[in-house]
Structure 1
Amino acid sequence: MALWKPDPSFYPSAKMAMQAPPERHAYVAALNPAGTDKPDAICVVDLDPDSATYAQVVNTLELPNIGDELHHFGWNACSSALCPYAPHPHLERRYLIVPGLRSSRIYVIDTKPDPRKPQIIKTLEPEEVMAKSGYSRPHTVHCGPDAIYVSAMGSANGDEGPGGIFMLDHFSFNVIGPWELHRGDQELAYDFWWHLAQDVLISSEWAKPSQFENGLVAEDLLANKYGHRIHFWDLRKRKLQQTIDLGAEHQMLLELRPSHDPRESYGFAGVVVSTEDLSASIWLWYRDNDQWQIKKVITIPPVPADEKDLPDLLKGFKAVPPLVSDIDLSLDDRFLYVACWGTGEMHQYDVSDPHNPQLTGKVEIGGVVNKKGHPKVEGPLLGAPQMVEISRDGRRVYFTNSLYSSWDDQFYPDKMTGWMVKVDVDPGGGISLDKDFFIDFGETRVHQVRLEGGDASTDSYCFSS
């Protein structure tokens, strides 16, 4: 008689996940911009320091289509499968769900039996995705306890929206349908996360497809037409309960990172830019009695720059905005990492007291003006810290440099190439670049990183440590 056992990479609590074996491989979304006539790919990077191929790309799975623009892909299943209200312990963390933001196509990629040789086992064509979900431009994938959740930026009937969330079946990977039952006035979409034990889903706002596909629309930014609200939903009833507007000047409310401890009711949200002063900011959401509140807890100012050193989009401002494009929270809820894609910095904040973050570390690499290099390579680097991923034990941070191909070309017009680096973390606070870890992807640009066995932005936990 066969005995079902939960996937060994599923953990009831974040503390147990932190004690897991270290990651051996990373899966990296690699994209080839329009005009290259090359498809996007999933690259496998060796992260085992005892391996002869450490810090190298050991395999590249090229996709069969051109122009997908891979973005925030994710695992089919994770530790949320152990949550008591919808347990699926017989799932395994095996498949990568990989959406094409530009094509609206979704690939299902099997990482077994050989994790170095992933293979496509199913493709959801855009016509099917749009017909069954009502959405287009799939963006972010999260493994939920009852299904696979996917956010989308556009609608199927009239591309401009509303954007929202749809669900895929855990087993067949077929589109189940749109998630929302009562959306209220929510229109823009981007990231989403949850407090599973509290039946709360949180969502953020970026833009309509016409505001990002061909680059940042300066007129819309200055008119404050990008997203600036955060939404709180009843997860079970799939109903919008509360919306908070941060203020129209706080443009592009993007990444959301809730506390990993299910007893807590807070999380962090990143805002790309303020149209008042070009600063970026981090906001804390928290519950006060029965209402959600949000407040700014970190402000990162712009850096003055000579107009001649700036891309056309920024010349009139004579400054480089930080452009916070991603944030990530360590599994112990202690350190928040903030990627400043404009100035070329990765910040580490101690958020043990989430209401009073303290800057504890910073590394510099790339940047619109600085173009600061890496010890392992000669010359300046284009791009800057963008997508961030933290190992389960919190000792290693990996990041890549590409945001979105058309935006890359606006802010880094000198033909950005792709690279990935690693930061080592001091357990007491502080970070430093690993001088020997630099992966050059050439003309191929790289975005989301997923770690074998899970990472800090993949899993959600329903049990406290």
Structure 2
Amino acid sequence: MYICMYIRSARSKPADSKNMYIFKQMLIRVCSSALLFFDQQQRAKNRMSEKACCHGPGYATPLDAMRSGPREKLLYTVTIQPNLDEPHGDYLSTIDVDPDSPTYCQIIHRTFSNRKGNELHHSGWNACSSCYYVDKNAKSVPKRNRLILPSLNSDFIYVLDVATDPRKPEIIKTIDGDVLKSHNVTAPHTTHCLANGNIMISVMGDAQGYAKGDFILFDSDFNCVGTWTKGDRKALCGYDFWYQPYYDVMVSSEWGAPNKFRRGWKEEDLDDKTQYGFRLNFYKWSTQTLYQTVDLGLEGAAPLEVRFMHDPKRPDGYVGCGLNAKVFYFKKRTNSDEFDVKKVIDIPNKLVDTGSGTASEMGGMISDIIISLDDRFLYVNCWRHGDLRQYDITKPDEPKLISRVWLGGAICSDLPNVIVKEDKELTERPPPRYIKGRRLEGGPQMMQLSLDGKRLYVSSSLYSPWDKQFYPSMVSAGGHVCLIDIDVVNGGMTLNEDFFVDFGKEPYGPSLPHEMRYPGGDCTSDIWLANDS
């Protein structure tokens, strides 16, 4: 204030001398520049405040989520009722994971579908971090307040309100399976929200249950918009997908025809490559057209979960291939839209006699992969072999195995009828794993990593027809969710012996937990968009 008064005084009084005049003029310029600087700073703060008050859900960047995101307190877990005669059907379990809560480690609410035979599987949001940046002239700001649960077997889609009472989600809309069939698609799987407010769900079949790779769109009110893919070229099969708009690309993976996988696994299903998945499919995001398909061969049979790196300016990612336990790395070529794909993790099959008297190859069954938000660690499950693996991916095309934990599996040392004839990794069979006196039946399946990367939640159920085929003891006893503590500094995993959620004593019989979500977003549902403004 005194500087400004001096400036006004200097402007109003004649100069005492030439030197004094020059000094005062210099002072005027300096002070004027300072005032201009402070004014610009204030304007910038106002713009930031304006932007902050109207941003959408989630976080500006993956690292922002990792550093600033709160610790998870609730875990929404898709839960399957294997008894197809039980009328309450599949449900969403709300698990309390707040260690300071009196109901820690307990299922505090169950949202029943009240329909038999749905086979709820994955879930997704109506809005996520891809909706974070909002135009200041937008009429409304997106909110993450709806959880979408598609059904693999019935083709129904359930929309849940998770905002009114996050501890007690409620079904507010049911989309009949006939809606999908009217667009000649079935078996909805992965849900991702889009920045334009629409919701996109991958599908795996046509109306007759044969293989078809496509995507179905819904608007923000959950009215069906139609299918997404344009042009004559279509993927043979469908499953998971992830988009990276900075490079104008989306990648999708393949499982198989609903007519095939719904009845359980049969090795001869691989004979028809039009009805079972072996490929990665790359689409132009802007034109919604398929432009590159990469056949991964028999090693890459059933490429399932696919992830781009979280950094929206990274042109690379991974896909886990289920049956033969391989992980492939894909990366966009420089100055080209094409992607190169190569195998970077090769988990050898084991030669095992499971009691039939004949030994056959047992693949690890990679059914999930997850990347930490800083793109430093990759986690890979082996549902059949029973181990969970942590890789350092600071050199992404050369993942380095740094830690393993055993969480059950099909070769445990206490299984009397199992004989491992050949194992290229182990010299002895792993012992069974117990937590709080309960033997872990099944193997490590779906994973969800905390935003800070320090806690990895692991469920046990893959898909109930396959659970019944490979792990009938888990179906009888019920599945579980356990917790792995992560050393984010040096790498390393340790089973948390104090955390265990048992689905064996549920109100309507043992049930099977599959995918898990946090109310505020997580490491597999949120996709970030590059922002250069």
- Confirm or deny a common fold (TM above 0.5): yes
Tell me by how many angstroms 1:129 deviates.
2.8
Which structure 1 residue ranges, 5 or more long, are not aligned? 275-279
2:437 is equivalent to residue 437 of structure 1: no
Q: Which residue of 1 aligns with 2:235?
A: 186
> 1:28-67 to 2 correspondence within 5 Å?
28-37=77-86, 38-67=88-117
Aligned with 1:457: secondary structure?
coil
For residue 55 of structure 1, report the CA deviation from its aligned partner: 1.1
RMSD between aligned alpha carbons?
2.3
Partner of 1:18: 66
Structure 2 CA distance, aligned partners of 1:223 and 1:448?
29
Distance 2:64 2:341 in 1: 30
Distance change in 2, residues 1:415/1:14 (3 Å): closer
Gaps of 5+ in 2: 1-50, 416-430, 505-509
Counterpart position of 2:24: none
Please show how residues 292-441 of structure 1 align to structure 2 within 5 Å. 292-308=339-355, 316-370=358-412, 373-378=432-437, 380-416=439-475, 417-427=478-488, 428-441=490-503
Cα distance change on mapping 1:393 and 1:89 into 2, 3 Å: farther
Q: Separation in 1 of the partners of 2:148 and 2:114?
A: 15
CA contact (8 A) 2:353 2:359 kept: no
- Provide closer, same or farther for how the CA distance between residues 464 and 401 of structure 1 changes in structure 2, counting only shifts above 3 A: farther
Match of 1:277 in 2: none
Q: Which amino acid aligns with 1:299?
A: D
Identity of aligned residues (%): 37
Tell whether the 8 Å contact from 1:99 to 1:138 is kept in structure 2 after alignment: yes
Greater displacement, 69-78 / 415-424: 415-424
1:189-239, Cα deviation, whole Å (9 max, x unpaired): 011111122221101111001110010122113666621110110011000
- Secondary structure of the residue that 1:211 maps to in structure 2? helix
User: Aligned letter for 1:24?
Assistant: K
Residue 450 (str. 1) matches residue 521 (str. 2) = no
Aligned equivalents of 2:404, 2:176: Cα separation in 1: 42
Which structure: greater helix fraction? 2
- 1:163 match: secondary structure: strand
Aligned positions, number:
451
Of 308, 315, 319, 1:258 maps to 308
Cα deviation for residue 24 of structure 1 reads 0.9
Amino acid at match of 2:58: F
> For 1:403-437, what per-residue CA distance to the aligned partner results, in whole angstroms no more than 9, with x for missing partners?
11111111113352210011111012001111111
* Equivalent position SS for 1:324: coil
How does the TM-score come out when normalised to structure 1? 0.92
Q: Work out the CA distance in 2 between the residues paired with 1:441 and 1:7.
A: 38
| Structure possessing the higher radius of gyration over alpha carbons | 2
CA contact (8 A) 1:12 1:463 kept: no
Q: What SS class does the counterpart of residue 439 from structure 2 fall into?
A: coil
- Change in 2 beyond 3 A, CA 1:9/1:153: same
- Structure with more contact order per residue of length (Cα contacts < 8 Å, sep ≥ 6): 1
Aligned-partner residue type, residue 284 of structure 1? Y
Task: Confirm or deny: 8 A CA contact 2:84 2:117 kept in the other structure.
Answer: no
Report the equivalent of 2:30: none
Cα 1:174–1:223 change in 2 (3 A) is closer
Residues of 1 paired with 2:84 and 2:148: CA distance? 26
The alpha carbon displacement at 1:369 in A equals 2.2
- CA drift of 1:254 comes to 0.8
**Partner SS state of residue 277, structure 2:** coil
SS of the residue 2:201 aligns to: strand
Aligned counterparts of 2:54 and 2:493: Cα–Cα separation in 1: 35
| Cα pair distance change 1:85/1:212, threshold 3 Å | farther
* Structure 2 counterpart of 1:151, from 182, 202, 211: 202
1:331 aligned partner, one-letter code? L
Q: Decide which structure has greater strand share.
A: 1
